[in-house]
Structure 1
Amino acid sequence: MSTPHSGEVYGRRLVPHVIDSIANRDPRRECFSIPRSSNPKDGWRAVSYGQYASAIDRLAHHVVKTSGAPHPKAFPTLAYVGENNAVYLIFVIAAVKAGYKALFVSPQNSEETQLHLFQLTDCHVIYHDAMFQRSVQAWLGKRHGMTANLLAPLDFWLADEGAVAHFPYVRTAEEAEREPFVVLHTSGSTGPPQPIVVQHGLIMLGDKLHRLPVWNGSEPAVRGLARSRRNLTPMPFFHAGGLYTFFGFHVYWEKPVAFAITDGPLTADFILQQLAHAPADVDSISLPPLVLEELSTTDRGCEALGRMKFVFFGGGNLNEAAGKRLLDRGVVLQNSFGSTEYGMLPFYWQTNPQEYQWLPIHSEVLGAEWRPVAGEDDVFELVIVRKDDPSSIQGVFYTFPTLDEWSSGDLFKKHPTLPDHWKYHGRCDDLIVLSNGERLNPTAVENALSGHPKVRSAIVVGTMRSQPAVLIEPASHPSGTEEKEALLDEIWPIVLKANSELASHARISRQLILITKSDKPFHRLANDAVHRVPSIKLYEPEVDELYREAEAGWKDAQCSLDLGSEERLLQSVCRLFQTLTYSTIIEPDTDFFSAGIDSDQVVNACRLLRSELRDKSKRINLQSITPKIIHAKPSARRLTAELWGQHIGSVNPVTTDAEASRAMSGLVAKYTQDLPEAPLIKKPAARTSQQTVVLTGSTGRLGAYLLDMLVADPAVAKILCLNRSRDGRARQQRLDASRGLRTDLTGVDFLHADLARPDLGLGVEGYAQILADADRVVHAQWPADSNLALAAFEPHVRA
């Protein structure tokens, strides 16, 4: 644990000084470990404080060389965007030492958002790595006078420890306390993202936590975390949670951390692979609730987490059933909470394992006032009131120095019996926070639905649920079931259109649409606007029942699994997955991932299958129903064969290496034996200029960049994009704009296609025309997911 040296006081030490101090007295002391590659089997390598400090100095000298020495106390803004690795941790301190402030923009922001943030922060220089070269060039084209600097990769900055001149940082805590440390930004879920200038004073509060006393028989949570030898964390470095945890805890408390591999899907299986190969002293882990829920469904997951001293989670509440499964297996869970504006709350270690959802919060230290929310029982908004007490922890007044109190907008429930115990309960504005921590602004969906002539009003709900639902107040209430279904049929296309523009976690399924009752109208304000909170409260019982029915296997009887025969089970599995895709037809041999099933829908499918099978089959191993089985059996027929085999006792729920080998041999044989001779086609050789190129999957992450390259290629005259969606051009332009790619698609034709059909769904004439015109075919309509089994690519071989 960190110890202040002569003349130093906990809470008054600046991060650059702490790093340099440790590097001077113990240069080989480990600061963090980083993955050697994107493959967990390659392991991790340690980075010492000596290496880290030298990397900071090297980059600080580079910043001054490329951007100049700024005027004292001017702190110009330098943006950085790059791969999620430790360059962020080097850049932020290098910028501080050089007299600048770093702006970290989320790589997921749209081009419009990035330009908006550059404007608000008066940023005219951006540093980036090679991965974002194309995006940055697009931003430069739309922001006059902005320049860019390409940075070398991480290994360059960490090389040659000590072979660089020291770059001093001569500010004192008193001088730097109100000076910028870094610029982050809000999520933008309730409007355009706003920059947040994080001051050194807020960061130093992580050091001040050393001085918090034992309270109510418990120690500060940070002391409990410090008992871990090493934590494995997948936090993004451009995000407040990652930066505050690294500097506010790992540096100030001198606890090494292992950074998880984050360039692959954060699935339970991938986390288990990382735990198997991470540094041997990893004995705690920090994870989002959704991944914990998935891990809780398997023996391997529970066993791996049970070996940890504790598991930290944050960003949302953990599903109660998942929490119980983990507790029953001896897993120690600790909740956490914080925000960009005020940092981490001064919460304490939860000593009662059963109360893991509840945060013991020291209200006196925080200056918290818990103000009741009208119409809600035991629900309070957190308001922080300025105190002059030197022992207080009030980061928000570094962010908003002119305020005397700050309404957080965060809601908490008060524990019915335990004092000072609070559980997060969402937001008091319209923002919906789902159980996985994802946020949803419901305004666009509600406005679209309310615009239908048969809908008076719509309210999206779902706080602390796995997915949102919507309440529909009809202009004229249906008189029976048939009229209700007819109304749903009319509004469903609006929901589908809204879903196409939403992230998968925010989409609304038909089974989670509730038509309100004629005798329970929404509460309204004087201007006839819906009074949101009391209206949601009014329908709380119906909403609870709606989610219960959905969790039990969906309200729609079409989704009930029928185990009367293998064929009936197959048809019901098809219907279940068709429901998840909202509109795509799922045939027995349709590849789930080719049909657009994503990772969130896979998780939902597993929940539905387990729920349906729990009371219908005693032989099916429910713990085997995880995303891994769907990746391994990616069609209704193959998944049904596995489930039916378990149900009748003819197969064990295990996929062996031998089975995988047989599958590979079978596919090779299937597509190489008895190949017919290629027909002779009288067609000239493919051109090398004025080419016509056929591209599949242009709206995917890979395909979008391929299309951008083809549009810019002078040797390409025409591009034919074959896509599943019918509005290919509009969708492409929308996605390209969000990725910083060109949106002028002159010379590009978009054709609605089905690659599973012999004529690609283009008709005889259309297919023949492509055969005649095409010089090159680029196939990018395949899922870039390392979890997928070999068989998942069979449709692409057929195509």
Structure 2
Amino acid sequence: MADTLSLPLPGVRHGERLAISVLDERAQLDPQSPWVSMPIDEGDISKGYKDITYSQFANAVNHAAHWLVRHLPPSKKPFQSFAYAGPKDLRYPILAMAAGKVGKVQYLLCHTWKQMVLPSPMMPSDAHLHILKEKECDLYMRPESMASIVDHVVQRREGLQIVAAPALEDLLQDKPAEPFNYKKSWEEARDDPWLVFHTSGTTGYPKPITYTHRMMAMADVAAKLAGNDETQLHHYTSKRWYTPLPMVHFVGMLMILSMSTFVHTVVVLGPPGPPSPETLIDILKYGRVDGAVLVPALIDALCRDASGLAALKSLQYIHYAGAPLGVNSGKRLAADVRLIPTIGSTEVGGYFTKLRHDTEDWDYVEFNKHAGAEIDSTIYKEQVLKLIIFLLFKKASLEYIFIKDKMQQIFFLYPDRDRFETNDLWMEHPTRKGLWKIVGRTDDYIPLSHGDGLYASTVEREIERHDLVQAALVGGHGKPKPVLLIEMVPGKHDEELLEEFIQSLLPYLEKANAQCHESVQVSPELVLLAKPEKPFVRTLKGSVARLPSLSLYEQEIEGIYRNVL
């Protein structure tokens, strides 16, 4: 099992350090220490890996900082925004660090600092434009390989200027760059805007979320606050980690910028495209990976193959993110590897939780006292589902000054609030109080195990047009495909006519699927009929209570997945 290191690190003053300053410090004091490890040959991972050192990283950042000064146009804004979209390579973290460094004297000693906006290239044009408008961003940097995506967006926004991105080899080169010194202290820079991520946009347009230097340093804060409690951060300390999540994503950028600099994680890279199970097995083997952040769909795929299962069991840690992990995969792994749910959001960041050596209840978490997480019992109080909220520590508390300024990043984003509802629904362990498992959200979005999802109501409305359907529910949280649960009109349920009913349902299902991406469409094989003796749960208004009704059929839903998938 895992050999987990302790925190804080010896001789390190955690909690008030800037990632930019730590990078330069490590490049000076320990220049040959590895920052990332990448394949020698992306086409043949079996040839092994090579390290990029902190000396090389810092040199590349200095090259990039000088490049930004030369190529970005002047601005009168105190913080000039520029968007960047590129392939999955090291330009993302190099340009990000450089953006944080650059403050150019312009317009009679007005310091113009930079903030880097990170739109997902997969977003629709309207979502792109919304984020650029919200951040008053008039510059879009991209390499030629991204021209077809970015230029289409640029054409729709007047005044938006394209900046050709530098080649990676022009930044990550052996020639020493002239030092680009960053002189701001923690107190001066901690609340400066730096990187702009965005939410997934499941209930509308994606929302841009601006991360300050302090918010990107929350891993360092957690190292200071952990105390005797084991946290996820302990797993990253001085270990080799891999994730397929792109660096445009908050988790991917956090790992390669924050975990690496603050707790000495070595980030192991793979080829730029989404990894197949076979590629992932090679990455874990030849990259000598200790831990991995994976989406459940990848874990499930590997668990179905003997060599994939062996590769996962060779790890010390698996942190899964994006959706719940299937019970079968969890049971196969929990005895051999530390299996940890990674829960959070772009706004809140990673939830600050305490970890346990637990092979049975691996899918439950316990909140660290510094998280400020509370259970809202006024919502769903007659059911087992609860809403987790975050409360600002009160001024009357002796911990208030320490915690408010250090850990609860949601209140850096929303300083006018003292309460934040996550909209996540949780279930407490039936016998182990204080352990919680996330089971869904208050809205009707169904996240699937591969990271995509669908709005349940879109499908349900079409299905309920059928004369024999009284109500329809879409489920499948964390599964590869959605399941459709149908409650028939009273007196019309007949198991012997099930095949005939499914055939009559196909035109409605076809219309519903036409509104969904292929990866989230409902398959006729995953249609389940509710039993007359077990009707859907209704609210006082008479509407179907979604999650309680799906919970009624938990065993039947698991059974149909076992038979079909």
Interval of TM-score (by shorter of Structure 1 and Structure 2): 0.7 to 0.9
The answer to whether the 8 A contact 1:478-1:484 is kept is: no
SS across alignment from 1:425: strand
Specify the alignment match of 1:80 in structure 2.
84
SS across alignment from 2:116: strand
Counterparts of 1:303 and 1:518, CA distance in 2: 44
Q: Match for 2:302: what amino acid? A: L
Q: Pairwise mapping of residues 226-265 of structure 1 onto structure 2 (< 5 A)?
A: 226=237, 228=239, 230-264=240-274
SS across alignment from 2:20: helix
Give the drift of 1:495.
1.8
Q: Match for 2:293: what amino acid? A: S
CA deviations over 1:384-408 (Å, ceiling 9, x no partner): 0011241462121122222111001
Task: Report the CA distance shift for 1:488/1:306 in structure 2 as closer, same or farther (over 3 A).
Answer: closer
Work out whether 1:354 is the aligned partner of 2:360.
yes
Work out whether 1:506 is the aligned partner of 2:520.
yes
Counterparts of 2:92 and 2:553, CA distance in 1: 47
Specify the alignment match of 1:540 in structure 2.
551
Specify the alignment match of 2:234 in structure 1.
223
Pick the aligned partner of 1:181 from 187, 191, 194.
Answer: 194
Give the drift of 1:437.
4.8
Work out whether 1:112 is the aligned partner of 2:126.
yes
Counterparts of 2:10 and 2:184, CA distance in 1: 17
Task: Report the CA distance shift for 1:517/1:331 in structure 2 as closer, same or farther (over 3 A).
Answer: closer
The answer to whether the 8 A contact 1:384-1:405 is kept is: yes
Pick the aligned partner of 2:32 from 25, 28, 33.
Answer: 28
Give the drift of 1:314.
2.2
Specify the alignment match of 2:460 in structure 1.
446
Higher relative contact order (CA 8 A, sep 6+): 2
Pick the aligned partner of 1:341 from 330, 342, 347.
Answer: 347
Give the drift of 1:484.
5.6
Q: Once superposed, what is the RMSD of the aligned Cα atoms?
A: 2.8
Larger strand share, 1 or 2: 2
The percent of aligned pairs where both chains have the same amino acid is 25
The answer to whether the 8 A contact 1:190-1:441 is kept is: no
Pick the aligned partner of 2:73 from 68, 72, 75.
Answer: 68
Give the drift of 1:194.
1.2
The answer to whether the 8 A contact 1:244-1:343 is kept is: no
Specify the alignment match of 1:523 in structure 2.
538
Specify the alignment match of 1:589 in structure 2.
none
Specify the alignment match of 1:295 in structure 2.
302
Specify the alignment match of 2:64 in structure 1.
59
Bigger radius of gyration: 1
The answer to whether the 8 A contact 2:387-2:424 is kept is: yes
Counterparts of 1:275 and 1:223, CA distance in 2: 20
Counterparts of 2:360 and 2:126, CA distance in 1: 45
Work out whether 1:381 is the aligned partner of 2:387.
yes
SS across alignment from 1:463: coil
Counterparts of 1:213 and 1:84, CA distance in 2: 33
Give the drift of 1:319.
1.7
Give the drift of 1:263.
0.9
The answer to whether the 8 A contact 1:198-1:398 is kept is: no
Give the drift of 1:109.
1.0
The answer to whether the 8 A contact 1:202-1:342 is kept is: no
Counterparts of 1:334 and 1:543, CA distance in 2: 23
The answer to whether the 8 A contact 1:70-1:100 is kept is: no
CA deviations over 1:55-113 (Å, ceiling 9, x no partner): 222222222222235446x2122111111122111121222222111111112112222
Task: Report the CA distance shift for 1:190/1:24 in structure 2 as closer, same or farther (over 3 A).
Answer: same
Task: Report the CA distance shift for 1:426/1:351 in structure 2 as closer, same or farther (over 3 A).
Answer: same
Specify the alignment match of 2:52 in structure 1.
47
SS across alignment from 1:353: coil
The answer to whether the 8 A contact 1:214-1:220 is kept is: no
Counterparts of 2:536 and 2:280, CA distance in 1: 47
Specify the alignment match of 1:496 in structure 2.
510
Give the drift of 1:134.
1.6
Give the drift of 1:475.
6.4
Q: Pairwise mapping of residues 427-446 of structure 1 onto structure 2 (< 5 A)?
A: 427-446=441-460
Pick the aligned partner of 1:203 from 197, 211, 216.
Answer: 216
Pick the aligned partner of 1:393 from 398, 401, 407.
Answer: 407
Pick the aligned partner of 1:309 from 308, 311, 316.
Answer: 316
Counterparts of 1:297 and 1:451, CA distance in 2: 38
The answer to whether the 8 A contact 2:493-2:532 is kept is: no
SS across alignment from 2:360: helix
Counterparts of 2:100 and 2:528, CA distance in 1: 53
The answer to whether the 8 A contact 1:34-1:259 is kept is: yes
- TM-score (ref. length: structure 2): 0.87
Task: Report the CA distance shift for 1:117/1:443 in structure 2 as closer, same or farther (over 3 A).
Answer: farther
Can you give the 5+ residue segments of structure 1 that lack an aligned partner in the other structure?
Answer: 555-603, 605-799
The answer to whether the 8 A contact 1:456-1:475 is kept is: yes
Q: Count residues in correspondence.
A: 539
CA deviations over 1:605-653 (Å, ceiling 9, x no partner): xxxxxxxxxxxxxxxxxxxxxxxxxxxxxxxxxxxxxxxxxxxxxxxxx
CA deviations over 1:29-62 (Å, ceiling 9, x no partner): 2211223443223433211112211222222222
Larger helix share, 1 or 2: 1
Counterparts of 1:408 and 1:198, CA distance in 2: 18
Task: Report the CA distance shift for 1:323/1:405 in structure 2 as closer, same or farther (over 3 A).
Answer: same
Pick the aligned partner of 1:100 from 102, 108, 114.
Answer: 114
Task: Report the CA distance shift for 1:539/1:102 in structure 2 as closer, same or farther (over 3 A).
Answer: closer
Counterparts of 1:187 and 1:376, CA distance in 2: 31
SS across alignment from 1:76: strand
Counterparts of 1:12 and 1:464, CA distance in 2: 37
- TM-score (ref. length: structure 1): 0.63
Give the drift of 1:159.
0.5
Specify the alignment match of 2:14 in structure 1.
10
Q: Match for 1:336: what amino acid? A: T
The answer to whether the 8 A contact 1:380-1:411 is kept is: yes
Q: Match for 1:305: what amino acid? A: L
Specify the alignment match of 2:155 in structure 1.
141
Give the drift of 1:531.
4.3
Task: Report the CA distance shift for 1:127/1:197 in structure 2 as closer, same or farther (over 3 A).
Answer: same
The answer to whether the 8 A contact 1:382-1:412 is kept is: yes
SS across alignment from 2:299: helix
The answer to whether the 8 A contact 2:475-2:550 is kept is: no
The answer to whether the 8 A contact 2:42-2:270 is kept is: no
Counterparts of 1:81 and 1:139, CA distance in 2: 12
SS across alignment from 1:34: strand
Give the drift of 1:348.
2.5
SS across alignment from 2:155: helix
Give the drift of 1:505.
4.2
Work out whether 1:193 is the aligned partner of 2:206.
yes
CA deviations over 1:280-326 (Å, ceiling 9, x no partner): 4x333332222222222333223333332222222222222222222
The answer to whether the 8 A contact 1:199-1:399 is kept is: no
Specify the alignment match of 2:326 in structure 1.
319
The answer to whether the 8 A contact 2:238-2:266 is kept is: no
Counterparts of 1:488 and 1:298, CA distance in 2: 33
The answer to whether the 8 A contact 1:206-1:252 is kept is: yes
Counterparts of 2:47 and 2:175, CA distance in 1: 23
Counterparts of 1:470 and 1:96, CA distance in 2: 48
Counterparts of 1:238 and 1:104, CA distance in 2: 6
CA deviations over 1:109-167 (Å, ceiling 9, x no partner): 122221222222221111112221122221222111111112133222100252x2222
